[in-house]
Amino acid sequence: MYVELKNINKTFGDYKASDNVNFGIEKGKLIGLLGPSGSGKTTILRMIAGLENPDSGEIVIDGKVVNDIPASKRGIGFVFQNYALFRYMTVFDNIAFGLKIQKKSKKFIKERVNELVKLIGLEGLEKRYPSQLSGGQKQRVAFARALAPNPNLLLLDEPFAAIDAKVRQELRSWLKDMIERLGVTSIFVTHDQSEAIEVADEIIITNKGRIEQIGSPIDIYQHPDTAFSASF
């Protein structure tokens, strides 16, 4: 397993956001983390990314326990729920951000950003600011920014939540293609069942901080383990 969560617990005040969470993810897979609002999906991503610490349990990435490794050293790319682009930076500078932090050379940054701009199909828009882009274009830039430093693991927290239905449909298949082509292990959070079924190799269903079921989209659809999975 490339990523493993072992007996993870996390409490906010007296609310259990993660209740003995256990799962493993194979390298190169695209996992859908599916569950209703408040079921603990973002909390799980934030703990994997190192933006939040579990109260107990271990997070293992590529065979190493990473609990004490800071977020910046985990080699993880993160795309957030609402476009979190830097408003005062151009498309080019947004994508270059992580590379500048890594102190890559100007030449390297230029080449890498150009490659990514091509990949996301936004050639010619490098000098635009986020306010001059559509919602779908912004999320593609966010995706490119997360990919720029070559992460080992990509976390996407409802990346299309703020985008209207038609564009969302297009972006879904675009994202699935992209991730398959790049072969980067990814976790995709959604509360939309059809989105999870269409996008994911494997689905993890969360409910009230617990994992309800793990399986392929077809498995879960045909053999729900619990009443919750069935109804959801």
Ligand X SMILES: Nc1ncnc2c1ncn2[C@@H]1O[C@H](COP(=O)(O)OP(=O)(O)OP(=O)(O)O)[C@@H](O)[C@H]1O
Q: Which residues sit at the interface with Mg ion, rule CB under 5 A?
A: 42
Question: Which stretches of the chain are assigned E, i.e. beta strand?
Answer: 3-12, 15-25, 30-34, 56-61, 64-65, 76-79, 153-157, 185-190, 202-207, 210-215
Q: Is 38 in the site for ligand X (CB under 6 A)?
A: yes
The least CB distance from residue 1 to ligand X, in Å, is: 22
Residue 18 near residue 9 (C-beta atoms within 8 A) = yes
**Cα(218)–Cα(69) distance, rounded to whole angstroms?**
36
Name which of 35 and 217 has its Cβ closer to ligand X.
35
Name which of 96 and 205 has its Cβ closer to Mg ion.
205
Tokens of 129: 């600011």
231 burial level (CB within 10 Å; 0-12, 13-18, 19+): exposed
The least CB distance from residue 143 to Mg ion, in Å, is: 18
The DSSP 8-state label assigned to residue 75 in this structure reads -
Q: Is 105 in the site for ligand X (CB under 6 A)?
A: no
Q: Is 222 in the site for ligand X (CB under 6 A)?
A: no
Site string for ligand X, 40-69 (x = CB under 6 A): xxxx--------------------------
The least CB distance from residue 232 to ligand X, in Å, is: 13
Name which of 37 and 231 has its Cβ closer to ligand X.
37
> What is the number of other CB atoms lying within 10 angstroms of the CB of residue 129?
15
DSSP helix/strand/coil, 133: coil
- Residue 35 binding partner per list ligand X, Mg ion, none, with a CB distance cut-off of 5 to 8 Å that depends on partner kind: ligand X
Q: Is 35 in the site for ligand X (CB under 6 A)?
A: yes
Q: Is 185 in the site for ligand X (CB under 6 A)?
A: no
Chain residues that interact with ligand X, rule: CB under 6 A: 12, 15, 17, 35, 37-43, 191
